Amino acid sequence: MRFELVGDWPVGPRTLPAASIITSGAHHGEIDMADVPQPLPLNARAMDEDGALQMLYWYEPALWHHIVFGPGIDRGAVIAKRWGRK
């Protein structure tokens, strides 16, 4: 899963700045998902299909219109997968 913060995110005593990359298996300059609370905020853009699907599991359907998917992610297909359809 890979996410990019669209805005700043206060996490405890620190603030993660906009454009921070949060990912599972972080590399240099990225933030590991294990090091931040979950769910990620609504201002976290899902940059892959796994991340997009996870956002739909974290948040109730009434909030899905706030969730932003990165380029190339088919929103309709991810929502269908969330509901168990192909």
If we measure between CA atoms, which residue out of 70, 36, 25, 43 comes closest to residue 78?
Answer: 70
**Is the sign of the CA dihedral 73, 76, 82, 84 positive or negative?**
negative
- The pLDDT assigned to 5 comes to 98
* Strand 21-23 to 2-5 pairing: antiparallel
What is the chain's mean pLDDT, rounded?
95
User: Does 74 have pLDDT greater than 70?
Assistant: yes
Question: What torsion do the CA atoms of 17, 20, 26, 32 make, to the nearest 10 degrees?
Answer: 40
Tell me whether the omega of the peptide bond preceding residue 39 falls within 30 degrees of 0, making it cis.
Answer: yes
What is the pLDDT, as a whole number, of residue 86?
65
Cα–Cα distance measured from residue 51 to residue 72, given in angstroms and rounded to the nearest whole number: 13
Q: Please give the average per-residue pLDDT across 26-55, as a whole number.
A: 94
Does the pLDDT value for residue 50 go beyond 90? yes
**Predicted model pTM:** 0.91
